[in-house]
Chains A and B, each alone.
Chain A
Amino acid sequence: MRNVGIIGVGYTPVFVSKRKDVNLAEMVSESVEAVFRNTGLSPDDIDAITFGNMQTFEGVNLPHLLMSEHIRAVDKPIIRIATGGTTGMSTLQAAYYYVASGIYDVVLAVSWEKQSEGDSQVGLAGIVMPEAMVMVQHGMDLLGGRGMGGMGGGSTGAAAYQAMSYLHHSGADPEHIDKMAALERSNAALNPYAHLRKKTTVEDVQATPFISWPLRYGHTCPTSDGATACIVASEEKAAKLADKVAWIIGVGCCTSDPSTANFIEGQMTDPADQTVCKIAAKKAYEMAGIEDPAKEIDLAELYDGFAHQSLMWLEKLGLCKEGEAHKLLDRGVLNIDGDLPTNPSGGVFSTNAIGSSAMNRATECALQIMRKIEGEHQVPKTVKKALAHGWGGLFQYVTVMILSDTPRKI
Chain B
Amino acid sequence: MKAGERIVAHAVVPLDFTYNYRVGQYIERYIKALGEKKIMAVKCQDCGRVFVPPRKICGTCNRILDEWVEVGPEGTIEIFTIGHVKLNKGLVEKIDKPSIIAMVKLDGASSLLPCVINGLDPEKVKKGLRVKAVFKEPPEDSLFDLDHFEPVG
Spot the interface stretch: A16-24, A185-193, A374-382: A16-24
Assess the A69–B59 pair: CB atoms within 8 A.
yes
Closest-CB distance, B21 to chain A (whole angstroms): 5
Chain B 22-34: CB-based contact to A (< 8 A → 1; otherwise 0):
1111110000000
Chain A 28-72: CB-based contact to B (< 8 A → 1; otherwise 0):
010001000000001100000000000000110000000011101
CA distance A74 to B22 in the complex (A): 24
Assess the A29–B17 pair: CB atoms within 8 A.
no
Chain A 211-226: CB-based contact to B (< 8 A → 1; otherwise 0):
0000000000000000
Asked if B20 is an interface residue, CB under 8 A from chain A, the answer is yes
CB-CB < 8 A to A29: which residues of B?
Answer: 56-57
Using CB atoms, name the residue of chain B closest to A134. B11
CB-CB < 8 A to A43: which residues of B?
Answer: 62
Assess the B11–A22 pair: CB atoms within 8 A.
no
Name B53-75 residues within 8 Å CB distance of A: 55-60, 62, 64
Assess the B11–A23 pair: CB atoms within 8 A.
no
Asked if B91 is an interface residue, CB under 8 A from chain A, the answer is no
Given A29-B56, A70-B57, residue A118 in contact with residue B22 (CB < 8 A): no
Using CB atoms, name the residue of chain A closest to B62. A43
Chain A 296-335: CB-based contact to B (< 8 A → 1; otherwise 0):
0000000000000000000000000000000000000000
Interface residues on chain A, size class: 20 to 34
Assess the A130–B62 pair: CB atoms within 8 A.
no
Asked if A294 is an interface residue, CB under 8 A from chain B, the answer is no
Partner of A42 from B13, B60, B62, B64 at Cβ < 8 Å: B62
Assess the B19–A59 pair: CB atoms within 8 A.
yes
Partner of A117 from B20, B55, B57, B58 at Cβ < 8 Å: B20
Assess the B59–A68 pair: CB atoms within 8 A.
yes
CB-CB < 8 A to A117: which residues of B?
Answer: 19-22
CA distance A258 to B121 in the complex (A): 58
Partner of B19 from A20, A33, A58, A137 at Cβ < 8 Å: A58
Partner of A72 from B13, B27, B62 at Cβ < 8 Å: B62
Assess the A129–B59 pair: CB atoms within 8 A.
no
Count of CB-CB pairs between chains A and B under 8 Å: 67
Assess the B56–A119 pair: CB atoms within 8 A.
no
Assess the A26–B25 pair: CB atoms within 8 A.
yes
CB-CB < 8 A to A119: which residues of B?
Answer: 17-18
Using CB atoms, name the residue of chain A closest to B12. A133
Asked if B15 is an interface residue, CB under 8 A from chain A, the answer is yes
Assess the A69–B58 pair: CB atoms within 8 A.
yes
Partner of B24 from A26, A58, A73 at Cβ < 8 Å: A26
Assess the A137–B21 pair: CB atoms within 8 A.
no
Assess the A22–B24 pair: CB atoms within 8 A.
yes
Assess the A23–B15 pair: CB atoms within 8 A.
no
CA distance A72 to B21 in the complex (A): 22
Given A59-B17, A130-B11, residue A22 in contact with residue B57 (CB < 8 A): no
Using CB atoms, name the residue of chain A closest to B60. A74
Closest-CB distance, B22 to chain A (whole angstroms): 5
CB-CB < 8 A to A289: which residues of B?
Answer: none
CA distance A116 to B22 in the complex (A): 9
CB-CB < 8 A to A68: which residues of B?
Answer: 59
Chain B 105-142: CB-based contact to A (< 8 A → 1; otherwise 0):
00000000000000000000000000000000000000
CA distance A81 to B104 in the complex (A): 36
Given A129-B13, A134-B11, residue A26 in contact with residue B56 (CB < 8 A): yes
CB-CB < 8 A to B25: which residues of A?
Answer: 21-23, 26
Asked if A140 is an interface residue, CB under 8 A from chain B, the answer is no
> Interface centre among B18, B27, B59, B62, by most A CB within 10 Å?
B59
CB-CB < 8 A to A26: which residues of B?
Answer: 24-26, 56
Q: List 8 A-B contacts (CB under 8 A).
A: A21-B22, A22-B24, A23-B24, A23-B27, A25-B55, A26-B25, A69-B59, A117-B22
Interface set of B (CB-CB < 8 Å, partner A): 9, 11, 13, 15, 17-27, 55-60, 62, 64
Interface set of A (CB-CB < 8 Å, partner B): 19-26, 29, 33, 42-43, 58-59, 68-70, 72-74, 116-119, 122, 126, 129-130, 133-134, 137
The 4 A-B residue pairs with the shortest CB-CB distance, nearest first, are A23-B24, A69-B59, A74-B59, A59-B19
